[in-house]
Amino acid sequence: MRGLGGASFARGGRQEELARSPPAPAERPSCAGRGSPRLLFQESLHQIRACTMAGQAQSRAELQQQQQQQQQAAPPPWGELLSFQYFQRVCPPGVGYGYSEGSMQGMRESEFRRLGGMTYLDHAGTALFPQSLLKEFTDDLSKNIYGNPHSQNISSKLTYDTIEHVRYRILQHFNTTAEDYTIIFTSGSTAALKLVAETFPWMPEGLGHPSSRFCYLTDSHTSVVGMRGITAAMNVLSVPVKPKDIVSEKNRVPAEEQNCMTPHLFCYPAQSNFSGIKYPLSWIQEIKSGKLCPIKTSGKWFILLDAASYVSTSPLDLTVHQPDFVPISFYKIFGFPTGLGALLVNNQIAPFLRKSYFGGGTAAGYLAGEEFYSPRPSIAERFEDGTVSFLDIIALKHGFDALERLTGGMENIKNHTFALSRYTYTVLSTLKYANGAPIVRIYSDSDFSSPDIQGPIINFNVLDENGDVIGYSQVDKIASLYNIHVRTGCFCNTGACQQHLSLSNEDVKRNLRAGHVCGDDIDIIDGRPTGSVRISFGYISTFEDAQTFLKFIIATRLSKSDCKFPSQTTTRETITQSVKSPIQNDHTANHNAKKYSLKTIISDTRHWNNSSAALKTPETSRAVSKNAIPVYRSGSKPITVTNIYLYPIKSCSAFEVSEWSVGNQGLLYDRNWMVVNQNGVCISQKQEPRLCLVQPLIDLEQKIMVIKAEGMDPISVPLEENTGREIQIGQSKVCAHRVQTYDCGERIAEWFSELLGRQCRLIRQSSDFKRNANQKHEKGQATTVSLSLVNEAQYLLINTASILQLKEQITERLKEPLPTEELIQRFRANIVISATECFEEEKWSEISIGALCFQVVGPCNRCQIICIDPQSGQRNKEFLQTLSSTRGRKTNFGIYLMNQSLCSSLPNILSVGSQVFPVLKEDGEIPSPLSNEEKTSG
């Protein structure tokens, strides 16, 4: 068995076994090597919960003794670690797997068959709804008429009564009543948090009395931290609080100062969405009573418990713990509906909330011509502006019914999901390379000993055998090859991300200045991670999900151990340089030449006529551009174009030509069409690998595109645009950019729908719409470059020498021959060249081919499409994995090109056999990607 990056696991000289024994069920895994130092407050957590965790507490000396015993114990083989028997052994007492009503596999088969071979591990992002929930909801809607609840007719009364029943059901779910709490429906937990910030009875600074404080735990969601924008506008001071500060003696307020009634608000998560740690619910009463204090200040504390993450897998008893505000989002619990949440407000604070705006349904009476307004007496009706999302609220009833029927309740879900996370954590903590280095670094605030302390979230980074972090983007990309769905980045929790990754405030600011923003794929800067990988289990998760994930970690080659090329390290300087000037304009032709730059003059003329003249290539078209300065190549053969491909239909098969017209959007007809689903969303080979079997052929003489596929009769569409009024004009998106398209008709839609077995249509980009990409002149002035339906740039170029180098590596791993032509086709380039040195194209800033001039605008960051065999549509993970390890854990291959001004008055023809004249970049650095979107050739 080969480990990450091909590193072998070792035990006593034998391979295929792990380097250290996992802890026994009653033992706590060591944090050594995980890179996540214990927080000071963690000891306090155990102290606070001493009454509930009696018998589980262990002294530091005992823990050290257990760790020594673990290291001396003989490790089981990895096959045993992945067995269900071992999973059962590591389940803590009282924690069960599955539910009493049938098997987990039976539930997955009946309720979640749509998952297929998917391993979904982002339940903290959203739960997945069961099929029966959707069916019962739609049956309800088909049998009942639900009117606007603000009306008084029969259908409206039915809606109002049903909503009130759902309010009762929500209160019942949290073991409370309408006497203690009010349900205010919102669009989600974020809207609920915003509502609290806007209506809390703040006492601002400078009014001659003690002022309010807004405090929040640094391990809080962005939406909590964002409340400080509202409080700042109200002249209220915001104070971030670390977990250890809560239990600090220095913050205690003397009893004589606790009579001050200035209202303060403290917000903290019941469960961290980063690490899954469950913060003590006992804090609520202890802070309200003055036993604990977030900061040292006199006044009355109110508590907002952010329960959005917590309640997805854990029961919340509001009879035992009574915060003042509890925001939730229902999709976190049921998966459906989305865009609906609630704020549970303690009725003791509700009368003091201040609301200035009033919308439809919230007013008992008002005057339009005079400043007079009387609110409704009901707290819910006073705060629910406008008509609530009543059909979605009705869906909640079926959500509660389904959850109870399938699982038996939240206590069962808590134990089930913890069993899976405990097992996964235990095995991950065990895995090591043969040299003793850990395979993952887990970012945890607990030892996963109890479901009362830890939620079903595991946050980590994968390491290579040298201890270096493998970027989260790389892990995510390889996981997708195995159809494993994880989440990466900082998870809208910068505070926890900083804490666990040891990022200072200045580090975060420097990374931002360098071009890294939340949600992008810039995962390593200056050798340090900017984020991590998170897996999370939900009520539908199974042992097989955990097992599949662990097999992926063990078996996947993510390491750089067998790299043969230097790692492409991203630095702040190179990213910043790319952000400031994506295209370098001053270049060195050779070591002795002076600086020289080509002028970027992009034509702004209309899209070339699709019925252009017949192609021809006079000998003069191979003339060298006067402006191009060839790279000095002592004794080397000339670089020439060996292949030209266009892809008329995005994500479909290539159409190879020996010469072809070039216009202001690239090759004529390249990616002018694309296949979309019934919602108008582009379908790529990622969703439908069979698209690679669709063969479009351009017939210039007949002015048609013939489309072929095995088992289907050929069909054709005209090359000339149909501008008739009956043509349906629509909007679509390519890589988040809006494009205007028109539909190619029912006949072609039926052809593709039959081929793919799903509803889809063929659309074409309208020539009246210009999709532009901004580039820059050498003087920093923006230039608009026109694009077709390509993802990033007009052309993609690859080098045969680079292909051959990669082919050698892949063939070695596949242990079978690989035709060069097949590998070329996988990379879906427009231009293939024959350079002498592999990857030398990445050192170029500009090139000229015949009369055509191009600017290099960045590398192509590859995705799983290169794993699809263009001849069969079958996937093979080895291609992306080999590229990753060969290129130093990056997946760059090929370069993007954009048209420059014509170098001469010669015809705009690209021809096979034409000589390529590159211009070297000054620094030889590979440019950063064009954007933070994932780049593919489409």
* Coil vs helix vs strand at 764: strand
Alpha-carbon distances of 224 from 198, 280, 349, 752, rounded to whole Å: 13, 18, 19, 47
Written as one string, the DSSP assignment of 393-436 is: HHHHHHHHHHHHHHHSSHHHHHHHHHHHHHHHHHHHHH-B-TTS
**Pairing mode, strands 760-765 and 737-743:** antiparallel
Alpha-carbon distances of 138 from 34, 141, 185, 247, 360, rounded to whole Å: 48, 5, 22, 50, 28
Torsion 30-35-36-39 (CA) sign: positive
Peptide bond between residue 240 and the one before it cis (omega within 30 degrees of 0): no
Contact 269, 232 (CB under 8 A): no
Contact 299, 210 (CB under 8 A): yes
Contact 165, 362 (CB under 8 A): no
Which residues does the annotation mark as catalytic? Answer: 492
DSSP 210: P
- The residue type found at 501 is L
Tokens 């809560």 label which residue? 246
Exposure string over 637-671, b if 16+ CB within 10 A, otherwise e: eebbbebbbbbbbbbbbbbebebbbbbbbbbbbbb
* Coil vs helix vs strand at 69: helix
Closest C-alpha to 516, from 575, 470, 582, 568:
575
203 token code pair: 């006492």
Q: How far is CA 277 from the centre of its chain?
A: 22
175 token code pair: 């073991």
Count of CB atoms situated within 10 Å of the CB of 83: 15
Count of CB atoms situated within 10 Å of the CB of 888: 15
Contact 897, 667 (CB under 8 A): no
Written as one string, the DSSP assignment of 725-755 is: TTS-EEEEEETTEEEEEEE--HHHHHHHHHH
**What is the signed CA dihedral for 258, 261, 264, 265, rounded to 10 degrees?**
100
- The residue type found at 508 is V
In angstroms, rounded to a whole number, what is the distance separating the alpha carbons of residues 715 and 165?
Answer: 56
In angstroms, rounded to a whole number, what is the distance separating the alpha carbons of residues 414 and 97?
Answer: 10
Query: Across the strands, what pairs with 910?
Result: 660
Contact 469, 524 (CB under 8 A): yes
